[in-house]
Chains A and B, each alone.
Chain A
Amino acid sequence: MKVIIIGAGEVGRSLAESIRRKGHDVIIVDKSEKACEKARYLDVKVVKGNGARPELLNSLDIKGSDYFFTATDNNEANLVACSMAKSVGCKTMARIKGLEYITKEVSQRFTPIGVDYAVSPELLVARKIADVITVPFAIDRNISMGGKLKVTEFKVLTTSRIKNKKIKDIRFPKNINLGAIVRENQVIVPHGKNVVREDDTLIVMTEGKKAEKKILKLLGTKRSSVERVMVVGATSIGINVAKKLKKRGVDVKIMDESRKRARRAAEILKDVEVMRGDARDKNLLVEEGILRMDALASTAPSEEYNVLVSLLAKVYGVEKTVAVVQELGVKSLIETIGIDLAASPQLQTANTMLRLARELNPLKAVPIHGGDIYLLEMHVDDDSPIVEKTIAQSDLPPECIIGAIIRNGKTIIPRGEEKFKAGDQVLTFVLKEEINAVEDVF
């Protein structure tokens, strides 16, 4: 398939890379020489110019393109370019920055002017942060099957009840499935004899609220949600994080050094405490109750500031810290120095756009833990060799864990003796290298 991407920023390049890897042709367009230069490292065609200009678009042969993404900093240009691409039959998606035009993470309100999906980076990342922050011990979370199934990365702390236990002794209740253990950046496919250690990350699939409560109990807490959260930085992201947390009944405090931004937050957020102050000031943090906070999200515009504030919070014993970062390259680095989640609006945008472009990924694969392991969604056809075989009988590689089977709308967390049936939808945890092997089995 042929894909055109306008804007070679973080979102554009990340999209281009992923789409290229899937084997499609990509043309990326940007006005700035610097951005074009960065994009030249990718195996894609780079064109310098204004992507909203009809002449340029015609010269790129947009008529023959299937997908058209826009991710420049200019919302209007994004919309105009999409509109033109739609008129020649492309599927279009636009990144819409700021909250002037958009009120939902993924909005279809621009379909009348030719934009199939408009994606808001701020709202996407705010939801991600809120999802991760509300669940104790969670450091990342993906939701599948319309919110029924949740794949959560939990951190094992000293207080955990399953620490130093063998997996077969833990006895996970049904509705809970352990997909993988990540230890020191190594993915371990769990087997009965593996031992859960402190600082491990467990990738767990849960179905429903009860299952979540149980896993949290195993991890050492009776609470199903955090109680007190501090948000630093009254940006659009920060305000929306606070809004979402408030909705879930969390006690939120939001802080910003700028009076103007703090005032705006106070105007938008009803019943949320808004403070003015620099969160790098230790005394101020303590005075505002950092010692009692369960989590802190730093959502200021500067990523250095966010990292600093999050680390400072860690020093004061805040269990979970989230920092918003702009540069994708530093994400994993930041997560290794003790910050639980480096949330990137750009990454969220690129991932969401990719997910929405269904025809570009016939394999429904959701990257987990930075892409070391994937959640693969497979469909069991009538003529599949796997029909009527149990998991043990199938030729699935041993590194593959069946997370859940969805049969006739019901979710089954399978045990070894479960048989596959035609029409099943199977969610599997697969190592990156094994994706093709798993695909062959189905």
Chain B
Amino acid sequence: MRWKVVIGNLGSILKIFGLAFLVPVIPAFYYQEAPVFFGFLPYNAVVFLLMSSLTVTLGIPAKAYGRAEDFHHNEAIVLVSSSWLILALISSLPFFLTFTLSCPIDGFFEAMSGITTTGATVLPFPLEDHPQSILLWRAVLQWIGGMGIIVLSVAILTKLSSGGLSLLEAESPGPSITRLKPKIKETAKILWFLYSLFTLLLFILLLGARVGVYDAVYHSFTTMPTGGFSPHTESVAYFSSVVQWIIIFFMIIAGVNFSLHYQCFIGNPKKMLKNPEFRTYLFIIFGVTIVITLLSVVSSVADISVLDALFQVVSVMTTTGYTTVNFDAWPELFRLFLLLLMFIGGSAGSTGGGIKVLRILLIFKMVKRKLIEFINPRRVMVVRMGDTVVEENTLNTIAMFFVAYVIIFAIGAIIMVGLTGDMISGIAASATSLGNVGPGLGLVASDFRSVPASGRLIMSLFMWIGRLEIFTAVVLFNPSLYKKSKLRNLLSFEIRK
């Protein structure tokens, strides 16, 4: 472990991230938001300008101190996991510098919820009372966090490209990263290009549906990363049904593997239509929606329209977290459906969270294989995804991921049930945080304000663990990573010679 390499690259990332603080300066100026004025400058604009320069200046000495060299796999993992923590800490500062939130833990929660695209909030309602610059800051965080700050850095910085694959694998969702181009930098560029393209498209469509510019920017910033923040207390219910349909469509897009979008983009839509994960993904979305709508009609326990059912299902399944109805008031069975959807999440290689459809699909196939092997131990079978055979090694990692996910969820559920005193709320809080969804059930149905500060801190860490898909995040707690550092240094030195 060469810390200098980690710190040096962290410096580069900070320099890029610092620019993000400039976006909220625009509404801060426009709306003249300020408790106090500094000369002609409104206070909130000053805060964000200050934050921007501070972050950039923090990056310069870090980069100067560190070494900009190729890194090894372990350094890549530490770089990714630590930079997400550090960036969340830095992004939390504006929340109490502008006196929006008083407790640092709340700020950290809000920033982490933003950057991990969770979308859970501790801001007091109604949201409309808060400064537009702060609200927009949450959206900016989600947009950057969606495709990933590391992917962005790899796309921009030349230095990161040589060890870039390790970085991308550590950050991006899903079991494996598909190289769209032989060069990892090109791959990162394409991902960000497609992501920006979809964001722009959604923005234009929203404008066409007569949404205001600010709201259109906001929701295109928070839909594509499957984030879920909204500047309105009633979330997307604030808008017309046309807008809701548009947002449903783009949430579904955001939950699809971006390499499939790329295939469509280069004129190969068959690859998407034939992809088993994509098919399963749509099957689950529409299957659950149909079941909910039919059951609600047949049993007449609740009056749920197709639009409402589809919106909540897509929002929860893709781990976006917008709401158009209070689904916490739905019958128990439907609430259970939504809770289970939180675990499944989006597709691998999408911006969605959760376990991922691909993993769930492969786990089902593994279980089926085990059953057949149990009946006939001599049977030799492989697990296939479409026509490709999945390596045993990959299957093993996926099974372990699933187990780790469930264990961590259980730990979170125990803590949260203890802290809130309510079973459903605790379970939902743990599931929604780990899956980067946002809304939960019961006490955490719309926000996390009824959760004590310790619970908020733990759930912030759960979002971080969930976003980095457990292994990358948890590795940071592994003491051997630090102990062996001297030995590793020596080894790497030897190899270099």
Contact = CB atoms under 8 A, between A and B. Distances in A.
Contacts of B381: 266, 274
**Secondary structure at chain B's binding surface: helix, strand, loop or mixed?**
loop
Interface string B367-383: 00000000010111110
Contact of A273 (B379, B382, B387, B389): B379
B181 interface: no
Contacts of B488: none
A276 B384 contact: no
Nearest to A255: B378
A263 interface: yes
A266 B389 CA distance: 9
A262 interface: yes
Contacts of B379: 273-276
Contact of B380 (A270, A275, A288): A275
A266 B382 contact: yes
A434 B408 CA distance: 85
Contacts of A270: 384, 387
Interface in A143-190: none
A265 interface: yes
Interface residues of B, number: 9
Given A267-B389, A270-B387, A259 B380 contact: yes
A274 B382 CA distance: 10
A270 B381 CA distance: 10
Contacts of A277: 378
A275 B380 CA distance: 5
B388 to A, nearest CB: 10
A287 to B, nearest CB: 8
A284 interface: yes
B380 A266 contact: yes
B380 A274 contact: yes
A428 B208 CA distance: 80
Nearest to B382: A266
A263 B380 contact: yes
Chain A CB within 10 Å — which of B376, B378, B384 has the most? B378
A266 B381 CA distance: 6
Contacts of A273: 379
B393 to A, nearest CB: 13
A269 to B, nearest CB: 10
B110 to A, nearest CB: 49
Interface in B352-380: 376, 378-380
A66 B389 CA distance: 46
A51 to B, nearest CB: 39
Contacts of A284: 378
Contact of A262 (B380, B384, B387, B389): B380
A280 to B, nearest CB: 14
B378 A267 contact: no
Interface in B375-405: 376, 378-382, 384, 387, 389
B494 to A, nearest CB: 35
A22 to B, nearest CB: 47
Nearest to A267: B389
Contacts of B376: 275
Contacts of A263: 380, 382
A277 B384 CA distance: 23
Interface string A250-282: 000000000100110111001001111100000
A265 B380 CA distance: 9
A276 B380 CA distance: 6
Contacts of A265: 380
A268 B408 CA distance: 38
Contacts of B382: 263, 266-267
Contacts of B378: 275-277, 284, 288
A277 B379 CA distance: 9
Interface string A231-262: 00000000000000000000000000001001
Nearest to A262: B380
A288 B379 CA distance: 10
Contacts of A276: 378-380
Contacts of A274: 379-381
6 contacts: A263-B380, A270-B384, A274-B381, A275-B378, A275-B380, A284-B378
Interface of B: 376, 378-382, 384, 387, 389
Interface of A: 259, 262-263, 265-267, 270, 273-277, 284, 288
- Per CB-CB distance, the 10 closest pairs between chain A and chain B, nearest first, are A262-B380, A274-B380, A266-B382, A267-B389, A275-B378, A277-B378, A266-B380, A276-B380, A276-B378, A267-B382
Given A266-B382, A275-B378, A288-B378, 17 more contacts: A259-B380, A262-B380, A263-B382, A265-B380, A266-B380, A266-B381, A270-B384, A270-B387, A273-B379, A274-B380, A274-B381, A275-B379, A275-B380, A276-B378, A276-B379, A277-B378, A284-B378
